Chain A
Amino acid sequence: MSKVSDRIDLKEIERRAYLSYHEDGLIDILIGLGLLAAGLYFYAGMFWLVGSMIAIYVPIYMSIKKRITFPRIGQVEFSKSRTGRAKNTYYFLVAINVVGVVVGFVFWNAFSSEIRPEWMYVMIDNYAIVLGIVGAFIFAVVAWITDLTRFHWYAALTLVSLGSANFIASPFIGHVVALGFIITVAGYLQLQKFKGKYPIVQEN
């Protein structure tokens, strides 16, 4: 019995098909560029632009995917369970945004009050570590939901890169930009590898 199931592992076939679809590194490049842009926006004081980036990123991602990925690897419609996991990622990111807004509101209220709580000072003093943990948590959860293991590395990188701003006398924005740069380069290298592995096929 095991002779048959060992060779045709349906779960593994589905997982490999899914992973090959995300081997192009495009999502990494967009995340990296997003962090670079976020750093520059914060530097220029245009905080509102960070939120609006998400709106333009999805159409850009799909457009590039059509031009680069589909002609090389083809198109596939995954099963409902896999699509459900992609939706879970989306819901998780939306939930993170909502929680972020609520926490920001609570924080702002506490900051505006005359008697500021003690925990607030701890958070302010260690904001780089806090943001590093939050960023690492987001990457780790996305890696866990999507099976994209390289995102675990990004989680560790985020924790080290952002958290180190607490101990090194350099501006926090510089750490965000450095993190964005590293992820963009990693994505670009992944894309080049993908292009080499899957050259464009003319006949169909």
Chain B
Amino acid sequence: MAEDNREELPSVGDIDKMIHEPARLLIVAHLFVVESADFLFLMRQTGMTFGNLSSHMSRLEAAGYIDVEKEFVGKKPNTKLSLTRSGREAFEGYRQSMRQLFADGAPGNPEESGNHGQRS
């Protein structure tokens, strides 16, 4: 089956690099499973520093993948983040691409394929 679809498989170069970067992948994955989250919540969940999260957030916002809403909760400023429609679609596309990239059926880890030390 993998042989038949080989021409449809995406090339590695087609992978969305905006999402592929590990820190941004983590941010997008967290935003994908919730409706919205504030900056602090993402910081806690991803374990990123303020500056790191802030810079990746700006890049994702510039790419149109996340929506950043600044508001006041009581007297304190609060930054609310959510995935945009295109961000959600991009993440779905990324997941699809990654699945297809590794869907070649070839044995990878010798332990998984049962070749425990039987290499010739």
Contacts and interface: CB of A to CB of B under 8 A. Distances in A.
Interface in A136-168: none
Interface residues of B, number: 31
- Interface size on A, as a range, is 20 to 34
Contact of B76 (A1, A3, A79, A204): A204
Interface in B60-97: 73, 76-80, 95
A13 B78 contact: no
A203 B50 CA distance: 8
Contacts of A11: 33
Contacts of A70: 73
B99 interface: yes
Interface of A: 1-5, 8, 10-11, 13-14, 16-17, 20, 70, 73-80, 198, 201, 203-204
Given A3-B102, A16-B45, 15 more contacts: A2-B102, A4-B95, A8-B25, A8-B29, A14-B33, A14-B34, A17-B33, A73-B40, A73-B41, A73-B44, A75-B78, A78-B34, A79-B35, A80-B35, A204-B38
Interface of B: 25-26, 29-30, 32-45, 50, 73, 76-80, 95, 98-99, 102-103, 108
